[in-house]
């Protein structure tokens, strides 16, 4: 298994270009199945979660042709299967989006339950509630989720909690239903808007994405389109925090600053100087970060996917901060790893009380999940000495060329292979 080896202490300075959004890509790609002619999708991040989705699409019968590293032509007209089995679904949380896409396309779908990060129970009851309201019957057969419908009809669905996944899945299933579907208490994340823009560019009729009420007027046909995925808000936020934590000065380009508002606000509160351009943000920090409290919330609140990275910044802040996690019930597993590096953090239910340490020390740590892994990289960058991070396959799920991007701004980070005869340096 590969590891990252980070020698801490370097200030990050320079420019990092952000890749396409993982969470938009894993929703938009399955939705391509609904098109009646090929689509070209651009700005697709080169990460393992996306390759998992493309592999599943190809297994279903779609023809996936790479044009460049980050753009693909996908022809879904050859899709005959409606089954995504366990091998294909494993390791990608977004496998559930094939339920909505195949239900919309074939009126039937059989999909193994999603894998993904160990950040808490990941129920799909709200997705199922939506499918059933649209007229589908949903059951569990031999461990697979099976949805079938004679026809899909527009409906009103009120989500009991703000769920990104349920909002995505119901939108995808409803675009070709007969009549109007209304999703109330919908998620408002940037990738929901991106998915709606993509579907509309195929001929769908979706209004209100980005608000908590989304209206989807069903259409009979969806045509192929060329579409470019938005930049990744969380990748951008991760590098912003890394810049601040190392007291660096980094321009993070190919971003939509509006999507970063809550992260910008909290970084400013911690003492960073932030300049915003049309498509970039510049983060500079010339002192020890100050304490601040953070509570994760659905968009436009502070994203849960930035919680471990921000907590790492607060672990070296001057003073005591409280981080409250209100989306996932098990998102503090990384705290133990940070304490191996000298952080002082006490978890009490949904909150972590962080007493800033003057410095962290390099240690052997593991990535417990994708964003926990990003937090370990930030911790390694600021720590004294060497940090070895294992289980980096989680990080590969969501960060394209993380070693190259960080090295270009002055970090000392390498990917190494833990091979039989010791460590072998290897290109990322
Ligand atoms: C998505 C993101 C993930 C992010 C999360 C919250 C993708 C691929 N993943 O995950 O990175 O951390 O949003 O911003 O976009 N819930 C239910 N029943 C359901 C659905 C959700 O109880 O049917 C609960 C979950 O347990 C969780 C909360 O609702 O506590 C939010 O989950 P949701 O927004 O659905 O997250 P995901 O779409 O899985």
pLDDT, tens digit (0-9, with 9 covering 90-100), for 313-336: 999 999 999 999 999 988 999 999
pLDDT at residue 423, as a whole number: 47
Evaluate: CB of 110 within 6 angstroms of ligand 1: no
- Given a cut of 70, whether residue 182 has pLDDT beyond it is yes
pLDDT at residue 420, as a whole number: 45
pLDDT at residue 118, as a whole number: 56
**Residue nearest ligand 1's atom 26 by CA:** 122
Are 117 and 394 contacting, i.e. CB atoms less than 8 angstroms apart? yes
pLDDT at residue 70, as a whole number: 98
pLDDT band at 91 (very low <50, low <70, confident <90, very high): low
pLDDT band at 143 (very low <50, low <70, confident <90, very high): confident
Are 26 and 49 contacting, i.e. CB atoms less than 8 angstroms apart? yes
Phi first, then psi, for residue 88 (nearest 5°) are: -75, -35
> What is the C-alpha to C-alpha distance for residues 286 and 112, in angstroms, rounded to an integer?
49
pLDDT band at 425 (very low <50, low <70, confident <90, very high): very low
Evaluate: CB of 29 within 6 angstroms of ligand 1: no
> What is the C-alpha to C-alpha distance for residues 260 and 238, in angstroms, rounded to an integer?
11
* Radius of gyration in angstroms for the set of CA atoms belonging to the chain, rounded to a whole number: 21
pLDDT band at 94 (very low <50, low <70, confident <90, very high): confident
**Residue nearest ligand 1's atom 35 by CA:** 163
- Start-to-end CA span in the chain (Å): 13
pLDDT at residue 115, as a whole number: 58
**Residue nearest ligand 1's atom 4 by CA:** 305
- 121: number of Cβ within 10 Å: 7
Q: How far is the CA of 122 from the centre of ligand 1 (A)?
A: 7
Evaluate: CB of 164 within 6 angstroms of ligand 1: yes
Q: Say what percent of the chain tops pLDDT 90.
A: 91
Evaluate: CB of 122 within 6 angstroms of ligand 1: yes
pLDDT at residue 89, as a whole number: 87
pLDDT at residue 427, as a whole number: 40
Evaluate: CB of 124 within 6 angstroms of ligand 1: yes
Give mean pLDDT, residues 359-377: 97
Evaluate: CB of 125 within 6 angstroms of ligand 1: yes
* String of DSSP letters for 49-88: HHHHHHHHHHHHT-EEEEEETTEEEEEGGG----EE-HHH
Runs of H (alpha helix) within 116-260: 125-133, 164-174, 190-201, 233-245
Are 54 and 29 contacting, i.e. CB atoms less than 8 angstroms apart? yes
Evaluate: CB of 127 within 6 angstroms of ligand 1: yes
- Given a cut of 50, whether residue 421 has pLDDT beyond it is no
| Strand arrangement of the beta sheet that strand 137-141 belongs to | 83-84, 108-111, 144-148, 137-141
Active site residue 292: no
Strands 320-324 and 351-355, bridge-based pairing = antiparallel
> What is the C-alpha to C-alpha distance for residues 102 and 31, in angstroms, rounded to an integer?
9
pLDDT at residue 87, as a whole number: 87
Q: How far is the CA of 400 from the centre of ligand 1 (A)?
A: 22
Q: What is the model's pTM? A: 0.96
Domains detected in the chain: 2-19+231-421 (3.65.10.10), 22-223 (3.65.10.10)
Q: How far is the CA of 307 from the centre of ligand 1 (A)?
A: 15
- Given a cut of 90, whether residue 306 has pLDDT beyond it is yes
Give mean pLDDT, residues 388-400: 96
Give mean pLDDT, residues 12-27: 98
Whole-number Cα distances in Å, 397 to 101, 201, 367, 394:
22, 28, 12, 5
Per mean pLDDT, which range of 2-6, 64-68, 140-144, 221-225 is the poorest?
140-144
Residue with tokens 């003057």: 358
**Residue nearest ligand 1's atom 7 by CA:** 23
Evaluate: CB of 328 within 6 angstroms of ligand 1: yes
Ligand 1 pocket test, pick from 163, 195, 324, 326 with the greatest ligand atom count within 8 Å of Cβ, gives: 163
Are 88 and 54 contacting, i.e. CB atoms less than 8 angstroms apart? no
Q: Say what percent of the chain tops pLDDT 70.
A: 95
Q: How far is the CA of 300 from the centre of ligand 1 (A)?
A: 15
Average confidence score pLDDT of the chain? 94
């Amino acid at each position: 298994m590969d590891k990252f080896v980070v020698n801490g202490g370097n200030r990050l300075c320079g420019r990092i270009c952000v890749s396409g959004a993982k969470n938009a890509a894993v929703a938009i790609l399955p939705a391509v199945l609904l098109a009646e002619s090929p689509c070209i999708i651009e700005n697709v991040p080169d990460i393992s979660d996306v390759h998992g989705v493309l592999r599943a699409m190809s297994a279903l019968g779609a023809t996936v042709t790479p044009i460049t590293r980050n753009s693909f032509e996908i022809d879904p007209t050859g899709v005959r299967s409606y089954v995504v089995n366990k091998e294909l679904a494993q390791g990608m949380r977004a496998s559930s989006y094939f339920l909505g896409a195949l239900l919309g396309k074939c009126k039937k779908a059989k999909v193994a339950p999603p894998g993904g990060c160990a950040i808490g129970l990941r129920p799909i009851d709200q997705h199922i509630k939506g499918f059933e309201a649209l007229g589908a019957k949903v059951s569990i057969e031999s461990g697979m989720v099976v949805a079938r419908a004679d026809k899909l009809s527009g409906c009103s669905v009120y989500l009991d909690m703000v769920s990104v996944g349920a909002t995505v899945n119901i939108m995808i299933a409803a675009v070709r239903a007969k009549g109007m579907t209304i999703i109330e208490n919908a998620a408002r994340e940037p990738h929901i808007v991106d998915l709606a823009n993509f579907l509309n560019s195929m001929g769908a009729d979706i209004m209100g994405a980005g608000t908590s009420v989304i209206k989807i007027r069903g259409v009979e046909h969806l045509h192929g389109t060329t579409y470019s995925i938005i930049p990744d808000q969380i990748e951008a936020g991760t590098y912003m925090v890394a810049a601040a934590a190392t007291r660096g000065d980094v321009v993070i380009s190919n971003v939509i600053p509006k999507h970063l508002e809550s992260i910008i606000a909290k970084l400013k509160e911690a003492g960073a100087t932030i300049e915003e351009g049309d498509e970039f943000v510049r983060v500079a920090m010339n002192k020890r970060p100050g304490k601040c409290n953070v509570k994760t919330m659905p968009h436009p609140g502070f994203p849960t996917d930035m919680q471990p990275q921000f907590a790492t910044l607060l672990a070296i802040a001057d003073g005591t901060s409280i981080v409250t996690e209100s989306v996932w019930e098990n998102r503090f597993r990384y705290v133990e790893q940070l304490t191996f590096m000298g952080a002082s953090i006490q978890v009490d239910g949904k909150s972590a009380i962080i007493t800033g340490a003057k410095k962290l020390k390099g240690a052997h740590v593991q990535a417990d999940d994708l964003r926990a892994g990003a937090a370990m990289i930030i911790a390694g960058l600021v720590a004294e000495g060497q940090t070895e991070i294992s289980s980096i396959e989680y990080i590969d799920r969501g960060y394209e060329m993380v070693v190259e991007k960080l090295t270009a701004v002055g970090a000392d980070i390498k990917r190494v292979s833990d091979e039989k005869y010791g460590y072998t340096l290897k290109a990322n």
